[in-house]
Chain A
Amino acid sequence: MQGHWEHFDHGADIGVRGFGLTQAAAFEQAALALTAAVADPATVRGLDRVDFVCEAPDAELLLVHWLNAVVTQMALHGMLFSRFQVQIEGHRLNAQALGEPVSASRHEPAVEIKGATVTALRVAQLGDGGWVAQTVVDV
C-alpha cells in the first residue's frame, strides 16, 4: 500500500485520515493530513527539526496524543511541518518532524487546529495488511 492521506467530512470540523504499510507510516500520513488542514504541505520547507515522545494506554489514544503533540508544537513555535518520521514500540512513540515558521503570505494558512478529538477515532490494520489511522480535529 502506498502511504497517503485524506480528509473526511465532519459537520463543523475536519477529519484526518492516514494510510500506510505500518502503523507508524499511517501515523505519519495522519500528521500530514493535519498539516494539510491548515496549508498545502508542498509549500512547507523542512528547515527546522522538532522531536516528539508520546505514550498512551492504547494505539488509538496514542494517535490522539501524537496529533495533539504536533498541534502543540505548531502553536508554541508558530510552525508548520511537512515531513514526519515516526517509530512506534508498543504504545510508545518517538518521532521527528521537519518544518518551518508559518508565513501568512507563502503558506496562506486557512485555520488553526485547536486539538485532536476522539471522534471517529480509529487505528486498525486493514484486509490488505496496511494500516489506517484517523480522527477528527477541532478547528
Chain B
Amino acid sequence: MDPRTLNRLGPCAWEIPRRGAMLAPAVIYASEALVREMDEKVREQASHVAMLPGIVGASYAMPDAHWGYGFPIGGVAAFDADAGGVVSAGGVGFDISCGVRCLHTGLQRADIVAVQAALADALYAHIPAGVGSTGAIHLNSEQMHDMLTGGARWAAEQGWGTETDLERIEEGGQMLHAKPGCVSALAKARQRREMGTLGSGNHYLEVQAVTEIFDTTAAGVYGLRAGDVMVTIHCGSRGLGHQIGSEFLLRMAAEAPRHGLSLPDRELACAPIRSDLGQEYLGAMRAAINCALANRQILTHLVRSVFATRLPSARLSLLYDVSHNTCKVERHAVDGRQRELHVHRKGATRAFGPGHPELPPALRPAGQPVLVGGSMGTGSYVLAGNAGSEALAFSSACHGAGRAMSRHQAQKTWQGRAVVDELALRGILVRSPTSRGIAEEAPGAYKDVAAVVDATEAAGLARKVARLEPLICIKG
C-alpha cells in the first residue's frame, strides 16, 4: 500500500478518509515500512467494514493487518445495537476464539536445556497435534452442553484446572450468554473427538525462554524475569468453531437482503444485532468461545502432566489467556459518553489498560497482558495494554507477525526437513507430523514480529514488556 495515498495522523497512524458509502473513516496503525508491505486488500477491506450500519468511531487495522475475509485479519470494529449495528461472522472468523495462553513454569533455561530433547519428545507424544488427531476426551450430549456453557470453568470442574487458572483467563474462563442450542448438530459432532487437540496450520505449543525485559515494572507485575521458562499454547475452538463460522457466514450472506443490508461485498456477511439471526449467531459464537477456552484448559492439563513426569519441580501457573477472534459486548467511552458496543476483533487482541475492572487484581497495575506470537524462529512478545488505547481502537492491539508469503510460495521456497535442522542448530527443537506443514510455517514466511510490536508500541496501543524465544516447538 502506498502511504502517500493515506492521511498521516501520527508516526504510526494513517487515515483512509470517509468517502462514498463509508459511514466512518478507517484508521491503520502501522509504521510507514509496514504500510508499504501491506496488501492493498487491507485498504479495501477496512473501507468496506466502515460501510456497515451502526459502526462507531472508525474501522481499525492493527500493525499486523493482512487480507482476510470481509474484515482484514488484524481488523477491529465496534457496532452499536441502538444505532442499527450489526454482528458479522466474517468479522470474527472461522477459528472463533483462537487465542494464546502463556504459562509460567518456575524453571530457568538451564533446567530445560538439560532435558530438552526428551521433553520435546514427551510433549509431542502427549499433545494430539496435526490433521486427523483426536483427543482422549469424548463428550456425550450432556457433557457437550455443559462444556459449551461452562468453558474453562467446566474443564476445571472436571479436574483439568484450578480456580486460580480461571482468574487469569478473559471472562474468568467462562463466556456468559452462550447458547449451545444455537450450535448445529454437525458442529457438535465435529468437536466430539477434538477436545484437547492442538490442530494444525499456525497453531503451536512452545516452551520458551524470556530473553529480554523492556518494562521492568510491568514485568514485575506479570512475574517475568530474564531466563524464565514459559509455555505458550496457540489454538482455538477446533472443528466446532470452524463449522459455526462456515454455517453462519452462508446464512448471513443469504439473509442479508431480507434484513435490508446492502453489502459492498458478500464476504461482509452480517446480521443486525437485534435480529433473530444476529442473536442466534452471538449465542453460538459465545459457545465456541467456551469451547476454545475449555480446549486450551485441557491442553494445559496435558502439558502439566508431561512436566510433572519430566521436571517435577516445575509449577505451571497461568500468566494469562487471550482470544483473538471474537465479538464481545464491552462498555467504552465515546466522545465522553459510555456506550455499550459489540466489538469485533478479527486477528486482534483485547488490550485493556491499567486499572481496568475486568482484569484480575494482581494484573491491574500493569494492564492486560497482550500475548503476541511470532514464528518458530523469531520469538514472541508479551505486551501490556495502555489506558490510551481505548480512545485509539477500543482497547485493542496486534496479535502476531502476520504472513509475508503465501503457503503456496512457502512450500516452493523451503523444505520442512531443512527448516527443522536449521532451527535445531540454533537450539530450537521442532516436533511435527508434517514436513510440508513445517515448510509452510517456516520463519521466513512471516513478517518481522519485532517491527509489528514496535509499531504497536509507537502507536500507543500497548507497550513492550518482554521478549521470548522458543526452545521447543510442537506443530500440528
Q: A104-B433, A111-B200 are in contact. Are A118 and B95 (CB under 8 A)?
A: no
For residue B254, CB closer than 8 A to chain A, the reply is yes
Expressed in whole angstroms, the Cα–Cα distance for A15 and B269 within the complex equals 20
B residues 130-177 in Cβ contact with A at 8 Å = 130-132, 134
Q: Are B435 and A108 in contact, with the CB atoms below 8 A? A: yes
- Residue from the list B201, B246, B267, B402 in contact with A112, Cβ < 8 A: B201
Closest chain B residue to A104, Cβ basis: B433
Contact with A along B398-424 (1 / 0, CB 8 A): 000011001111000000000000000
Q: A9-B408, A75-B239, A139-B201 are in contact. Are A114 and B267 (CB under 8 A)?
A: no
Q: Are A108 and B436 in contact, with the CB atoms below 8 A? A: yes
Q: Are B249 and A118 in contact, with the CB atoms below 8 A? A: yes
How far, in Å, is A45 (CB) from chain B's closest CB?
Answer: 15
B436 neighbours in A (Cβ, 8 Å): 108, 110
Expressed in whole angstroms, the Cα–Cα distance for A49 and B244 within the complex equals 25
A residues 12-35 in Cβ contact with B at 8 Å = 12-14
How far, in Å, is B201 (CB) from chain A's closest CB?
Answer: 5
For residue A7, CB closer than 8 A to chain B, the reply is yes
For residue A124, CB closer than 8 A to chain B, the reply is no
Q: A78-B132, A109-B131 are in contact. Are A12 and B66 (CB under 8 A)?
A: yes
Q: Are A64 and B408 in contact, with the CB atoms below 8 A? A: no
How far, in Å, is B417 (CB) from chain A's closest CB?
Answer: 12
Q: A109-B131, A139-B407 are in contact. Are A119 and B190 (CB under 8 A)?
A: no
Which of A61, A101, A115 has the most chain B CB atoms closer than 10 A to its own CB? A115
Q: A9-B406, A9-B409 are in contact. Are A118 and B132 (CB under 8 A)?
A: no
Q: Are B200 and A112 in contact, with the CB atoms below 8 A? A: yes
For residue A117, CB closer than 8 A to chain B, the reply is yes
Expressed in whole angstroms, the Cα–Cα distance for A8 and B408 within the complex equals 8
A111 neighbours in B (Cβ, 8 Å): 131, 200-201, 407, 434, 437, 440
B250 neighbours in A (Cβ, 8 Å): 56, 61, 64-65, 68, 118
How far, in Å, is B441 (CB) from chain A's closest CB?
Answer: 9
B267 neighbours in A (Cβ, 8 Å): 117-119
B55 neighbours in A (Cβ, 8 Å): none
A-B pair number, CB within 8 angstroms: 124
How far, in Å, is A102 (CB) from chain B's closest CB?
Answer: 4
Closest chain B residue to A109, Cβ basis: B131
A interface bracket (residues with beta carbon within 8 Å of B): 35 or more
How far, in Å, is B352 (CB) from chain A's closest CB?
Answer: 27
- Residue from the list A57, A119, A138 in contact with B254, Cβ < 8 A: A57
Q: A61-B253, A108-B434 are in contact. Are A115 and B242 (CB under 8 A)?
A: yes
Expressed in whole angstroms, the Cα–Cα distance for A12 and B73 within the complex equals 9
Q: Are A7 and B408 in contact, with the CB atoms below 8 A? A: yes
How far, in Å, is B236 (CB) from chain A's closest CB?
Answer: 9
Contact with A along B188-216 (1 / 0, CB 8 A): 01100000000111000000000000000
For residue A11, CB closer than 8 A to chain B, the reply is yes
Expressed in whole angstroms, the Cα–Cα distance for A107 and B190 within the complex equals 21
Q: A110-B437, A121-B266 are in contact. Are A38 and B407 (CB under 8 A)?
A: no
B408 neighbours in A (Cβ, 8 Å): 7-9, 14
B131 neighbours in A (Cβ, 8 Å): 38-39, 102, 104, 109-112
For residue A116, CB closer than 8 A to chain B, the reply is yes
Q: A9-B409, A104-B130 are in contact. Are A109 and B69 (CB under 8 A)?
A: no
A39 neighbours in B (Cβ, 8 Å): 131
Expressed in whole angstroms, the Cα–Cα distance for A8 and B407 within the complex equals 10
Q: Are A114 and B242 in contact, with the CB atoms below 8 A? A: yes
Expressed in whole angstroms, the Cα–Cα distance for A119 and B68 within the complex equals 8
For residue B29, CB closer than 8 A to chain A, the reply is no
Contact with A along B244-262 (1 / 0, CB 8 A): 0110011001100000000
Expressed in whole angstroms, the Cα–Cα distance for A7 and B199 within the complex equals 22
Which of A38, A111, A116 has the most chain B CB atoms closer than 10 A to its own CB? A111
Which of B199, B242, B476 has the most chain A CB atoms closer than 10 A to its own CB? B242
B134 neighbours in A (Cβ, 8 Å): 78
For residue B243, CB closer than 8 A to chain A, the reply is yes
For residue B381, CB closer than 8 A to chain A, the reply is no
For residue A72, CB closer than 8 A to chain B, the reply is yes
Q: Are B94 and A114 in contact, with the CB atoms below 8 A? A: yes
Q: Are B67 and A10 in contact, with the CB atoms below 8 A? A: yes
Expressed in whole angstroms, the Cα–Cα distance for A119 and B440 within the complex equals 21
B266 neighbours in A (Cβ, 8 Å): 118, 121
Q: Footprint of B on A, CB under 8 Å?
A: 7-14, 38-39, 56-57, 61, 64-65, 68, 71-72, 75-76, 78, 101-102, 104, 108-112, 114-119, 121, 136, 138-139
Q: List 17 A-B contacts (CB under 8 A).
A: A11-B403, A11-B406, A12-B66, A12-B68, A14-B406, A72-B190, A76-B189, A78-B134, A102-B131, A108-B435, A109-B132, A110-B200, A111-B407, A114-B94, A114-B246, A115-B94, A118-B269
Q: Footprint of A on B, CB under 8 Å?
A: 39, 41, 66-69, 73, 93-95, 130-132, 134, 186, 189-190, 199-201, 239, 242-243, 245-246, 249-250, 253-254, 266-267, 269, 402-403, 406-409, 433-437, 440, 476
